[in-house]
Amino acid sequence: MNPASTSPALAGALVPLQRRDAGSGAKIGAAILVRLDHAQAYAPRAVTAVAAAAADGVERLSAYGAGWAADVAAVAAARDIPCTAVIEEDAPTTYVTLLAALGAEIQRGPGDVPGSTLVDPAEGLDPPAEDVEGDVLVGYGRAPEGAATRRVGVTVSGTSSSGLFPASRMDAADELISVDAREAIAAARAVARDDGLLVGPASGAVLAVARRLAGEIADDMRVIAVLPDGGAAALATIHDEAWLRRHGLLADTPALTAADLLSRKGGGPQDMVMLAPDASVDHAIRIMQDLEVSQIPIVDEGEVVGTIREDQVIDLLLHTPERKDGPVADVMDDPLREITPDADIEDIQAMIVAGGSALIVRWPDGRREILTKYDLIHGLARESGDRDEER
């Protein structure tokens, strides 16, 4: 079956989902009907959203997520507006190439773009003018207009993946229901397998809530779910199992944690190398050379008060070598950020991308370990290799 999101004829139509037990064939719960708005993925929304963002004149636009940013960049190029695409660290090469061809500047990892106007995908999520009718209406962020006993808006929690889920407008709904990102992604993938509908992450969130509600109401009632995004732009993310595993977003796969990454380091647990504020820079240099470490936390009375890094040492030796006999307190930088062992990989990535050269993991017993960019890369590479061997 061809994915329904590639068929414009289905846009706006009500499509029933399979709601029968796989073994007996008996009907399960209330009927769910979906309406495929914006059947051609993000593209129609980009035109509307860019127009809204540029209404008052802008110097630069920005957009989050490779798929959404590509459509925004195309519209921005046609309107001669500079655009910055804020994309995932591991965004597919095809999207990177496309964005470059469209003249967009590329920023990898989360973060604001100073001087730019963010293009909000929610600008293209307004329900069409025609009403729908059902006992329960479910929409992303805001519920569709129409006759219903319940009108539900859906929001998403549990992800720091930049641009994965569009921003939602939390209004025009009788009630709001939050769904976990993993549940939303699982629902989007399930409807592709079971019903041949290729939908995006926001639609997955709506479907997850619709299925939940269908099991709670009377069997003779109907749930109408308005699906705002198609899945073409999400083929390299939520419909790619390898990408989901790397980001810990498969429903049956726990996300990697700081403890997992540290366990992948050779040599077992390692106490953090540290120095007192009055230790000399020369002493710090010798420790870096002997232990092959790139940064050393500075600890005063049990608290981390600063950091000395190899790039600081290089600059000092080149320009002010006489300072190497002075205390590290005179040249140290801000302290590294501390996290707990259960901090997940998404948060760790965001903190390192935001400018942290390393993080300090503090264990419940007070012991500390350093988690570096290399440890993150090594842990992810090993995880990917382990998954490849399993397959």
pLDDT for 41 equals: 44
Residue with the two structure tokens 């993938």: 189
The mean of the pLDDT values for the chain is 78
Question: What mean pLDDT comes out for the span 39-47?
Answer: 58
> Residue 307's pLDDT is what?
92
Q: Tell me the domain boundaries of the chain.
A: 4-37+127-246, 43-121, 258-390
| Average confidence (pLDDT) over 370-379 | 83
Ranked by mean pLDDT, the top range of 155-159, 177-181, 256-260 is: 177-181
pLDDT of residue 56: 76
What mean pLDDT is predicted for residues 344-373?
83
pLDDT at residue 160 in the model: 46
Q: How far is CA 230 from CA 7, 28, 40, 45, 380, in A?
A: 10, 26, 6, 11, 29
- Between residues 325 and 126, the one the model is more confident about: 325
Element (H, E) at 359: strand 358-362
Least confident of 147-161, 189-203, 223-237, 296-310: 147-161
Looking at residue 12, its pLDDT comes to: 53
Mean pLDDT of 53-66: 85
- What pLDDT sits at residue 209? 93
Name the band, by pLDDT with cuts 50, 70 and 90, for residue 242.
Answer: confident
Tokens of 38: 């914006």
Q: Residue 345: is its pLDDT beyond 60?
A: yes
Domain spanning 4-37+127-246 has what CATH number? 3.40.50.1100
User: Residues of the chain with pLDDT > 90: what percent?
Assistant: 15
**Most confident region among 170-174, 264-268, 368-372 by mean pLDDT:** 368-372
CATH class of domain segment(s) 258-390? alpha beta
Q: Specify the higher pLDDT residue, 362 or 385.
A: 362
Instruction: Read off the pLDDT of each residue in 340-352 and give the average, rounded to a whole number.
Output: 82
Q: What local confidence, expressed as pLDDT, does residue 167 receive?
A: 63
**Do the beta carbons of residue 40 and residue 22 sit within 8 Å?**
no
Predicted pLDDT of residue 5 = 38
Q: Going by DSSP bridges, is the β-strand pair 358-362/337-339 parallel, antiparallel, or unpaired?
A: parallel
Q: Which of 12-16, 40-44, 228-232 has the lowest mean pLDDT?
A: 40-44
Cβ atoms of residues 11 and 5 within 8 Å: no
Average pLDDT over residues 269-283: 87
Quick check: do 4-37+127-246 and 43-121 share a fold? yes
Nearest of 251, 268, 246, 249 to residue 259 by alpha carbon: 268
Distance (Å, rounded) from C-alpha 377 to C-alpha 387? Answer: 15
Which range among 226-235, 250-259, 302-311, 330-339 shows the weakest confidence by mean pLDDT? 250-259
275: which DSSP letter?
B
Ranking 8-22, 30-44, 231-245, 347-361 by mean pLDDT, the lowest is 8-22
142 pLDDT band, cuts 50/70/90, is: low
C-alpha distances out from residue 121 to 48, 83, 353, Å = 9, 15, 24
Architecture of domain 43-121: 3-Layer(aba) Sandwich (3.40)
